[in-house]
Amino acid sequence: MSEDDERQQSPPSDLEFVSNKARNCNATGSGSGHPEFQSTYPDQVLENVLENMLHFLTSRRDRNAASLVCKSWYRVEALTRSELFIGNCYAVSPGRATARFTRVKALHLKGKPRFADFNLMPPDWGAHFNPWALAMAKAYPWLEKVHLKRMSVTDDDLATLAELFLGFKELVLVCCDGFGTSGLAIFVSKCRQLKVLDLIESEVSDDETDWISCFPEGESNLESLIFDCVECHINFEALERLVARSPSLKKLKLNRYVSIGQLYRLMVRAPQLTHLGTGSFSPSDIAGQGDQEPDYVAAFAACRSLVCLSGFREIIPDYLPAIYPVCANLTSLNFSYANITAEQLKPIISKCHKLQTFWVLDSICDEGLQAVAATCKDLRELRVFPVDAREDSDGPVSEVGLQAISEGCRKLQSILYFCQRMTNAAVIAMSKNCPDLVVFRLCIMGRHRADPVTGEPMDDGFGAIVMNCKKLTRLAVSGLLTDKAFDYIGRHGKLVRTLSVAFAGDSDMALKYVLEGCPQLQKLEIRDSPFGDAALRSGLHHYYNMRFLWMSSCRLTRHGCQEIARAMPRLVVEVIRSADEEEMDDVVGTLYMYRSLEGPRTDAPKFVTIL
Amino acid sequence: MEGSVGYDNDLNLKATELRLGLPGTEPVSIVRSNKRSLQQVADDDCGVNGCKSDDQNETAPPPPKAQIVGWPPIRSYRKNNIQTKKNESEGGGIYVKVSMDGAPYLRKIDLKVYSGYPELLQAIENMFKFTIGEYSEREGYKGSDYAPTYEDKDGDWMLVGDVPWEMFITSCKRLRIMKGSEARGLGCGV
C-alpha cells in the first residue's frame, strides 16, 4: 500500500481518500492496538498524517503558508489542494499550474483589472479563458467547478466545458464577455450534472438561440440559475417547465424580460427558493385589463425560506407591497435598479429587521437612508448607487445620509457610497461609529470637490477612516485630496490590500507614502493623479508582493517604466495605448504591471507594449 | 478660441463651455468599448427629474461639462439599465433587430426615424440588397420572394403593413424578412 498505488485511483473524492489511507495506516499496525507502525517508514507516516490534515485546510492563504515549510509539505499540499485560485490569469501559465496541482476539482480565475469595467481599457486586451480550458481538459478531467471573473470566454470554451468534463457541476461567470446564447445552449444541453449556472454582470450576446429550451428533459439537478444580466428574451414556457422539474432549485434570478405575471407562475412552482431575482417586476405590456391579477402576496408568503431578494428591473412601485411577507426574513435586498422614493421604501425597510446586505439607488435620498438606519441594526454591507451618474447633477444623498447610517448601523463592515457632496465630519463620524469597517469606498462624483461646509480637502475624513477602522483592507478615495491624505494612509493603513485613487494628490510624495507605508498592499489602481516616475521607483521593494499596479493618465514616462521593467525581471510591465496615442510617445497613457512567473505574454494585442 | 460661432436654438453655450484639452480640440467623450450601448452624452438627457435648467423657456438644456471616460466609476450595464426605461417613455429611439432569412448577421434600426411604411421598407431593401413586392391588404406582398414580417408584443408574427404606422412602431419587437415558400404562404389570404 505505497502512496504510489493509491494515487492510481481516480478520481478519488478527497475525503474518501483520507479515510482509505487512515484505515490502511491503522491496519498495518498490530491488531492489539500497539502503536507500532513497523511496515511503514516514519517519513511516510508523517506524510500520511500531513496529507490527512491538509485535506481539512481550505483557506488558500493557510495552504500557501503550509507549502513553504519544506519540500515535503510543498509536495503534499500540492497533492491535496482541490480548489485552485489564481488572482491574475497571467501570473502563471496553465501548464505550470496543472503541473504543480494535480488533483484540482475547482478553478477560480480572474483576468482583467477592475478599471477595465469603466472603459479604461480597450476591448480585446486579453484574459482569454481558452488556454486554461484546454489545459484543464487534459489535466483535470474530473473538474467540477469553474469560477471566472473578468475573463473572455467564447462559445467554444463553453462547449469545451460541457463536452470534456463529464462531471461538471458549477459555472460562475462574473463580469465576463465573449460568448452568447448559442454558447449557453450548447453548454446547458451537454452538461447533464449541472447544479449551478450563475451569469453575473456579464455581457451575453444575443444570437437568437433559445438556450432555456436546451436544458435536458427529465429531473434536473439545478440548484442555482442566475441570468439577470442576459439581455435577451427567453422562452418562458420552457423556463417554467425547467423550474417545475428542478426540485433542488434554491437560487433563481430572472432577467428583465420576465414580467411579474410570469414571476408569479414561477414562484408558485418553486416556493423552496432562498434567493430570488424578480425580473422586471412589472406587468407585460399586453396584460389584459379585465384579467384577474394573481395573488402576488400569497406567492411571496409561500416562499418561507426566501432570504435574498433582487431584480426589480422595471419596477412599478404599486406592486411593492407584494414583498411584505418576506421582509422580516430577508438578509439581503438589492434595489439598485429600482428608481423608488423614500416614501416607497419606508414601508418595506421598516420590516427588514434582519437585513445585512442592502444595495439601493440614491433616489431614496437621505431620508430613505435615515429609514434604513432606523431599522436595519444588523446591516453589514451597504451600496448606494446614483440614478444620475454625472458630475454636475443634484445629489439626492449627502453627508446627512452617511451620518445617519453610521449612527444606526454600528455593525457596518462594507460601504460603497456615491454622492455629490460629503463632509469630513460625516466621514469622521463613520470612522468612529463603525469600527468594524473592512471596506470603505466613497465616491464623491464631482472631481476635486472639497468639504462644502469647511472648504477644506477631504484629507481628514479619510485619515480618520484609516486611523480608526483597524480592520480596513479595502479603500477607495475621492474628492479634493492633498498628499496629506496619503500620508495618513501610509501611516495607518497597515492592513490595506486594495486601494483605489482617482483625481487625487499633489505630488509624487503621495504615492511614495502609500508604497512605503502599506505592507499589505496588493492591488493599487490609480487614474488621473499627478504621480510620476520618481514615485514609481519608490515601490520597487514591494512590487513583487503585489498582484498588480494600474496607473492611467498620470505622469509616467516610457523610460521611467522601462527602468522598472529592467530592475524587476519577474514583473510584466504593460504600456497600453489608447486610440489617439502614437506608438513611440514618451508619455505613458496607461501602465498595467503585475508579477508573473511567465514573462511577457504571447497574446498581447497591438496596442499593448510590454517593456 | 474658435473661429466662427454659429448660433443654434440654444444660447451657444458651447463657446463658453469648460472643457478638458486644448482649444480647438473636441470635447473628451471617448467611449472605448463599443460593445455596450453608447453612453448617452448628457445633452439630450435631462436627468431623472426632468430638465434642470432654470429657464423653463429654453428649448434645449445647457450642455454639460465634457464627460470623462469611466467617471464616475459605474459599469455601463448599470448606467444603461437605470436609464433604459426612462428613455423609452421619453421617446428615445425605438431600436429593433432586423433579420433576413439566409443573411449571416442581424441588423438594428431605429423605427422612429422613419415616417411610414414606404420609407421603412425602402431602408430595409437597401440594407439587405433585395426587393420587396407591392403591398396589398388582400394579398400581402406580391412580386418577390420576400415578405417583411414582425413580432408583436403578444409574440405573434405579423405581416408588416397591416396596422396603422403608429400602432406598428409601438407594438413591433423585431423584424424578420421571410423568404421562399414561407413568405408566399403569407400572401395567400391566410
Q: Which of these, A145, A240, A267, lies nearest to A195 by C-alpha position?
A: A145
More confident residue, A3 or A521: A521
- Cell numbers linked to A503: 483625481
Residue indicated by cell numbers 512605503: A516
Contacts of B72 in chain A (CB under 8 A): 386, 389-391, 418, 443, 445
Find chain A residues with C-beta within 8 A of B78's C-beta.
336-337, 385
**What CATH number corresponds to the domain at position A581?**
3.80.10.10
- Kindly indicate the confidence band of residue A39, based on its pLDDT and cuts at 50, 70 and 90: low
| Class of residue A433 by CB neighbours under 10 A (exposed 0-12, middle 13-18, buried 19+) | middle
B184 is written with which cell numbers? Answer: 408566399
Closest CA to A591 of A543, A553, A538: A553
CB-based contact A122 B67, cutoff 8 Å: no
For residues A322 and A320, give the distance between their C-alpha atoms in angstroms, rounded to a whole number.
Answer: 5
Q: Answer yes or no: is B108 within a domain.
A: yes
Distance CA A309, CA A332 (A): 6
Q: Which of A417, A338, A436, A292 is nearest to A378 (CA)?
A: A436
Among positive and negative, which fits the CA dihedral B139, B144, B150, B156?
Answer: positive
Task: Assess if residue B89 is contained within a domain.
Answer: no
Cis before A11? omega within 30: yes
In a domain, B81, yes or no: no
pLDDT tens across the length of chain B (190 residues): 444 444 444 455 555 655 555 555 444 443 333 333 333 333 333 333 333 434 444 444 444 455 688 899 999 888 888 754 444 444 456 888 899 888 888 888 888 878 788 888 888 888 888 888 788 877 778 777 888 999 988 888 899 988 888 889 888 989 999 887 776 655 444 4
Asked whether the beta carbons of residue A119 and residue B31 sit closer than 8 angstroms, the reply is: yes
Asked whether residue A328 is domain-assigned, the answer is no
Nearest-Cα distance to chain A for B164, in Å, is: 18
**Contact residues on chain A for B153, CB-CB shorter than 8 A:** 284-286
Q: What does A589-601 look like in DSSP terms, one character per residue?
A: SEEEEEE-SS-S-
Of chain A, the percentage scoring pLDDT greater than 90 comes to: 80
Q: Which of A120, A339, A390 sits opposite B69 (nearest CB)?
A: A120
Q: Does B70 contact A203 at a Cβ distance shorter than 8 Å?
A: no
Q: What angle do CA A112, A493, A479 make, to 5 degrees?
A: 70
CB contact under 8 A, A256 and B81: yes
Domain-located, residue A439 = no
Is B106's CB within 8 Å of A313's CB?
A: no
Instruction: Return the CATH number at A76.
Output: 1.20.1280.50
Cα radius of gyration (chain A):
27
* A353 domain residue, yes or no: no
B105 located within any domain:
yes
Nearest neighbour of B153 by CB, restricted to A119, A285, A447 = A285
> How close does chain B come to A17, measured CA to CA in Å?
45
Contact residues, chain B, for A388 at CB < 8 Å: 47-48
Range(s) of the domain holding residue B113 = 95-184
Rounded (5°) CA angle B19-B21-B24: 90
Please report how the helices A365-375 and A342-349 are oriented relative to each other, as an axis angle in degrees rounded to 10. Answer: 10
Cross-chain Cβ contact A117/B153 below 8 Å: no
**Does the pLDDT of residue A3 top 60, yes or no?**
no
For residue B60, the model assigns a pLDDT of 46
A581 within domain boundaries: yes
Q: What is the pLDDT of residues A426-439, one digit of tens each?
A: 999 999 999 999 99
- Ramachandran bin of A272, using left for φ above 0, alpha for ψ from -120 to 50, beta for the remaining angles: alpha
Contacts of residue A209, Cβ cutoff 8 Å, sequence gap at least 6: A180, A181, A182, A184, A185
| Grid cell listed for A388 | 444620475
- Boundary-marking domain end, from A81, A98, A130: A81
Question: What are A205-258's pLDDT values in tens digits?
Answer: 999 999 999 999 999 999 999 999 999 999 999 999 999 999 999 999 999 999
Whether B139 is covered by a domain: the verdict is: yes
Question: Which CATH number is B159's domain given?
Answer: 3.10.20.90
Check: CB of residue A116 under 8 Å from CB of residue A149.
no
Is B52's CB within 8 Å of A117's CB?
Answer: no
Query: What residues in A contact B39, CB-CB < 8 Å?
Result: 119
d(CA A176, CA B37): 16
Q: Is residue A596 part of a domain?
A: yes
What is chain A's mean pLDDT, rounded? 90
C-alpha cell at A539: 515601490
Name the domain count of chain A: 2
B49 occurs within a structural domain: no
Residue A175 lies in a domain: no
Q: What are A199-215's pLDDT values in tens digits?
A: 999 999 999 999 999 99
Residue A526 pLDDT > 90? yes
Q: How many domains does chain B have?
A: 1
**Residue A588, domain extent:** 475-610
Is ipTM > 0.90 here? no
Last residue of a domain, one of A55, A81, A107: A81
Query: Is B19 among the domain residues?
Result: no
From chain A, the residues in CB contact with B75 under 8 A are 117-118, 175, 201
